Amino acid sequence: MKKIAAMLTGLAVGAAAYLVASPVAQAAPCEGTYTIVVGGTGDNDSDDPYWQGNISQRVGYPAIPVGINARQGVDELNRLIRDQRNACPGQHVKAVGFSLGAAVVHTWVTENWPTIDNVNAVLIADPKRAAGPGNAGAAAHPLVAPVVGAPLAGADDFFGDIPTLTLCTDDIICDADAASGLPGYLWEGRHGNYNFNVDVYSDDARGQWFNGVYIP
């Protein structure tokens, strides 16, 4: 566990001054669901090839795991969703995040649920995932949280009334006690062992998929 914390802390410290310009957003049509995605560490434009399906918007932010970067991601996600909602008031919004991007979506839901509706969220390998089942995600580890800082640090399941689905499968990022441990993260591909086709997640998806078992 100390090795895991050291690795994650090292990533955060090395990235404290990293900045990236956000891409210019293009207006999305009002038909269908507005699906917006937020990529994980290193996926600054949320356009890595693991993403599949009908994606309306990709969030650009400095995708390195420190709080200040997560805050930029949350603010940009909020801007894009609010702009789209102003243009298309009746359109459903589906926000999907992976890893660090899941923490961004998680934080956005926690902060914005009282003032928005007709939205759902999908959190894939969320480092802010609350314990139960399994342990909490890496962002809650006592050696990691003080370094990465708010709003990335910590874990909770406070999503208000926004339907939220979390997915975690033998992955130390979302379950610090995952059986695969650090080797699973570094060499066995456990952290990428998810379905990244956004179309498979419904507009009212909620609950948890934990190690292949669905928990409402």
**Helix, strand, or coil (residue 18):** coil
Please state the φ and ψ torsions of residue 177, each to the nearest 5 degrees: -105, 20
Peptide bond into 127 cis (omega under 30): no
CA distances in angstroms from 8 to 4, 59, 61, 172, listed in the order given: 6, 23, 19, 11
Contact by Cβ (8 Å): 99, 190: no
b/e sequence 90-108, b meaning 16+ C-beta within 10 Å: ebebbbbbbbbbbbbbbbb
pLDDT tens for the 216 residues of the chain, in order: 444 444 444 444 344 434 444 445 567 999 999 999 999 999 999 999 999 999 999 999 999 999 999 999 999 999 999 999 999 999 999 999 999 999 999 999 999 999 999 999 999 999 999 999 999 999 999 999 999 999 999 999 999 999 999 999 999 999 999 999 888 887 888 898 999 999 999 999 999 999 999 999
Q: Tokens representing 27? A: 């207006």
Q: What is the DSSP letter of 41?
A: T
Pairing of strands 213-215, 207-210: antiparallel
Question: In this predicted model, what pLDDT tens digit does every residue of 190-215 receive, in sequence order?
Answer: 898 999 999 999 999 999 999 999 99
Contacts of 129 (CB under 8 A, 6+ apart): 123, 136, 137, 155, 157, 166, 168, 174, 175
153: which residues sit within 8 A by CB, 6+ positions away?
Answer: 67, 139, 140, 144, 145, 146
Tokens of 52: 């599949």
Task: Report d(CA 122, CA 118) in Å as an integer.
Answer: 14
Facing residues of 34 across strands? 93
- Amino acid identity, position 122: V
Cα 35 from Cα 58, distance rounded (Å): 9
Distance of alpha carbon 89 from alpha carbon 103, whole angstroms: 26
